[in-house]
Amino acid sequence: MIRIQRVTHKSEFNQFFALPSRLYANDPCWIEPLGIERAEHLSSKNPASDHIQWQAWIALRGDEVVGRITAQVDSLHRQLHGADTGHFGMIEAIDDEEVFKTLLDAAHTWLKDQGARKITGPFSLNINQESGLLIEGFDTPPSALMNHGKPYYASRLEQQGYGKAIDLLAYWMRSDAVHFDPVLSKLMERARRKVHIRTLNRKDFANEMQTLRRIFNDAWEQNWGFVPFTEHEFGEMGAQLKLLVPEDMIHVAEIDGEPCAFIVGLPNINEAMSGLKGRLLPFGWAKLLWRLKVKGTRTARVPLMGVMQKHQFSQVGPIIALLLIEALRKAFLKRNIEALEMSWILESNTGMRTILERIGATPYKRYGLYEKQL
């Protein structure tokens, strides 16, 4: 018999967070997340908690934890997409139909009590955080702030009546293999007369981050499932970026002195965390800082990028994106970063996908988002 347990006490949270390390114990691609970061993610320290209400459960067979899940409602999502929306996330479980049914039934019941009639996911906790269920690319480790998964997860969701909502793609690109063909190079050279690319002004960091927030929210507003970043969320993100990201890995594009686009490159923290087993004590923190600040990572991820809507469909819009990628590539080569992941890209974003594939990027991971009527 499988029983469900609502997660409310510290001991239950510990069980919730410990499950993945057991499930992926023999998976060479698994990167154990930092325990302290996961604990803060499901706490008031997560700035998204200002607008997200959630509940977590674990599934047990006897005394053994065999699955976990969260359900959540996001007031900002409901303002934009309907008051009957809800989400699930952070799902991990053994390969057992009954376990998945028990977990999802608990999430469904809770969401119905919150007025939800449509559920999408997985999100941890919303679309601006870890999103999607890995369905292609199990043979490589996840990049920073991206999910890993088990190959059977998708079929288990589908058994419970879930269907495809949309897919998210991750692109892989070698820094020394990026190629701007003669036509693109000519267009980029011409655009430089109008478009100015600069690095972030660290002396005015807080205001700069809010500028990036305004660009992102405008750029992504029409995308599937969009939820805007709040000032609080981007402020907290800025504190992390200031600590982890060198200034030449954040670039802003301006036209006539007005910021209109940006790109952020993030050293692949997962690469630096390999072997730490999610622990910063007693010596994990020293190893992590040394790997990030002294040794450096050989891979990176571009988690944030945006071009404001008024430029997206103009002749210069795609060229702005190329100029930003070119600027970031130079910073990567300078720091001996050999390859980067561009993620995630909506499968429906044919414009960006075409740009990336034209300059040498290859889609190598696919993440599925699923939906169901309750």
pLDDT tens by residue, 343-358 = 999 999 999 999 999 9
Other residues' Cβ atoms within 10 Å of the Cβ of residue 77: 24
Question: Mean pLDDT across the chain, nearest whole number?
Answer: 92
Strand partners, 342: 171, 302
Longest dimension (CA), the chain: 69
Give dist(CA 301, CA 267) in Å, integer: 6
Contact predicate 260/321, CB 8 Å:
no
- Specify the pLDDT at position 284: 46
Of 33, 165, 175, the residue nearest 92 (C-alpha): 33
Write the DSSP string, 102-144: HHHHHHHHHHHHTT-SEEEE-EESSTTSEE-EEEE-TTS---T
Whether residue 313 is predicted with pLDDT greater than 90 in this model: the reply is: no
Burial of 370 (0-12, 13-18, 19+ CB in 10 A): buried
What is the residue whose two structure tokens read 């060198």? 246
Tokens 């190598």 — which residue?
364
Tell me what pLDDT residue 282 has.
Answer: 43
In degrees to the nearest 10, what's the CA dihedral of 273, 178, 220, 225?
Answer: -60
Tokens of 48: 């998204």
Residue 283 pLDDT exceeds 60: no
pTM of the model: 0.93
Residue 364 class from Cβ within 10 Å (0-12 exposed, 13-18 middle, 19+ buried)? middle
pLDDT in tens, 10-51: 999 999 999 999 999 999 999 988 888 888 899 999 999 999
What is the three-class DSSP state of 356? helix
pLDDT band at 126, cuts 50/70/90?
very high
Residues 6+ positions from 125 with CB-CB distance below 8 Å: 41, 42, 46, 48, 52, 54, 70, 72, 74, 87, 89
pLDDT digits (tens, 9 = 90+) for 55-97: 999 999 999 999 999 999 999 999 999 999 999 999 999 999 9
Q: Cα–Cα distance between 361 and 371 in angstroms, integer?
A: 29
Residue with tokens 């994106």: 321
Q: Which of 232, 235, 222 is nearest to 80 (CA)?
A: 222
What pLDDT shows up at residue 290?
Answer: 47
- The span from the CA of 99 to the CA of 102, in Å, is 5
Residue 369: name the closest of 140, 118, 138, 33 by CA.
Answer: 118
Which residues are paired to 254 by β-bridges? 196, 259
Q: Which whole number is the average pLDDT over 98-120? A: 98
Helix (H) / strand (E) element for 2: namely: strand 2-6
Q: What pLDDT is recorded for position 347?
A: 97
For residue 344, give the H/E element and its range: strand 339-346
Q: What pLDDT, on the 0 to 100 scale, is given for residue 249? A: 92
- Structural domains in the chain plus CATH codes: 2-167 (3.40.630.30), 173-365 (3.40.630.30)
pLDDT 10s digits, 238-262: 888 887 888 889 999 999 999 999 9
